């Protein structure tokens, strides 16, 4: 990891020497994405590399609740990305707003990694955990164990309180142990991590929660999900009607909507396409959108493209 940290430093320093170095997360950045941005910025500052965070879209509701508890205000991070900016992407690996890739740090697996001076895509429950390892490898002091607290918080909130299939067993054990050792509020972390939605919210809002947009070989795919243990077929029907309307507005080729039930440890995937088709897939575990579902969707799309290109 020490060598990886040095490689990252070289990539960031080289980009900053050529222009503006921008650190950014995915659209509608969640807690993990925001914390990863903050940690990479602090690491760049430790290395005396000029950089700033730019988030083209507002953080999600959980991030706005959680970040202040860690002494972070995301408001100054809002900003645009320009074509001549050099980008350090965290918690995603596809640039969505222009710019030139300098570095990618992500925990979402892909069969089609991007080309950049530095690319680190590795299985982990949270991208912030990857940044925590890089910070330790760089020898950066962790005063007040701030970075450790950020990594623990990201793991709880990005894995449905350590229940998701994407979190390695050893990371879940580490997060539980460190949360207790650090005197963190485990009840609050668990509640925020489970993130059970108020199902009385309008279907239009529920249909767009945790919205992400992907570009798979030029094919645009949207995805959103609801975490709840109280979904009914009637409410799901209302939500899917809104999802279909959003799909038509977006111009995407596919919308992947998930119902995540962290209480029963089940996931239902509903795939909609503009031609009116709908496919429902059930999982007897908490399937991870980033680890299990979207990599499969990407493979399906790219395989279909390959087949269409054959004579």
Quick: pLDDT tens for 109-159: 888 899 999 999 999 999 999 999 999 999 999 988 999 999 999 999 999
When pLDDT is cut at 50, 70 and 90, the band that residue 1 belongs to is confident
Mean pLDDT of the chain: 94
C-alpha span between 238 and 152 (Å, rounded): 36
11 in Cβ contact with 118 (< 8 Å): yes
- How far does CA 171 lie from the centroid of its chain? 17
197 in Cβ contact with 226 (< 8 Å): yes
When pLDDT is cut at 50, 70 and 90, the band that residue 305 belongs to is confident
Average pLDDT over residues 61-73: 94
Q: How long is the chain?
A: 311
Instruction: Give the residue from 46, 76, 45 showing the smallest Cα distance to 59.
Output: 76
Beta bridge partners of residue 101, listed in sequence order:
87
- pLDDT tens-digit series, residues 17-60: 998 999 999 999 999 999 999 999 999 999 999 999 999 999 99
> What sign does the dihedral 221-226-230-235 (CA atoms) show?
negative
- pLDDT tens-digit series, residues 192-203: 999 899 999 999
Q: Dig out the tokens for 76 from the structure.
A: 């100054």
Q: Are strands 118-121 and 100-106 parallel, antiparallel or unpaired?
A: parallel
pLDDT over 90 percentage in the chain: 87
Residue with tokens 């054959």: 310
Q: Dig out the tokens for 132 from the structure.
A: 């925590």
Residue with tokens 């972390």: 189
When pLDDT is cut at 50, 70 and 90, the band that residue 306 belongs to is confident
Residue with tokens 């949360």: 179
Using alpha carbons only, how large is the chain's radius of gyration in Å? 19
When pLDDT is cut at 50, 70 and 90, the band that residue 173 belongs to is very high
99 in Cβ contact with 80 (< 8 Å): no
């Amino acid at each position: 990891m020490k060598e990886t940290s040095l490689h990252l430093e070289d990539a960031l320093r080289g980009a900053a020497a050529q222009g503006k170095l921008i650190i950014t997360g995915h659209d509608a950045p969640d807690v993990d994405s925001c914390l990863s941005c903050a940690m990479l910025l602090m690491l760049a500052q430790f290395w005396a590399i000029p950089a700033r965070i730019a988030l083209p879209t507002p953080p999600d509701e959980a991030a706005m609740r959680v970040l202040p508890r860690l002494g972070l205000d995301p408001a100054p991070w809002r900003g645009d990305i320009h074509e001549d900016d050099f980008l350090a992407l965290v918690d995603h690996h596809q640039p969505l707003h222009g710019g030139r890739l300098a570095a990618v740090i992500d925990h979402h697996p892909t069969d089609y990694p991007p080309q950049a001076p530095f690319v680190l895509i590795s299985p982990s429950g949270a991208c912030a955990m990857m940044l925590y390892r890089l910070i330790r490898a760089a020898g950066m002091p962790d005063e007040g164990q701030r970075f450790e607290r950020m990594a623990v918080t990201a793991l709880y909130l990005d894995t449905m309180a350590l229940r998701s299939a994407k979190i390695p067993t050893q990371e879940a054990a580490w997060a539980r142990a460190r949360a207790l050792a650090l005197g963190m509020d485990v009840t609050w972390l668990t509640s925020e991590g489970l993130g059970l939605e108020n199902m009385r919210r309008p279907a239009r809002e529920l249909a767009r929660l945790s919205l992400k947009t992907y570009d798979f070989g030029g094919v645009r795919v949207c995805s959103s999900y609801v975490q709840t243990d109280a979904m009914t077929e009637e409410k799901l029907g209302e939500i899917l009607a809104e999802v279909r309307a959003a799909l038509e507005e977006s111009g995407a080729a596919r919308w992947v909507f998930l119902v995540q039930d962290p209480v029963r440890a089940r996931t239902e995937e509903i795939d909609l396409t503009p031609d009116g088709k709908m496919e429902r897939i059930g999982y007897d575990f908490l399937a991870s959108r980033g680890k299990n579902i979207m990599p499969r969707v990407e493979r399906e799309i790219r395989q279909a493209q390959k087949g269409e290109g054959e004579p």
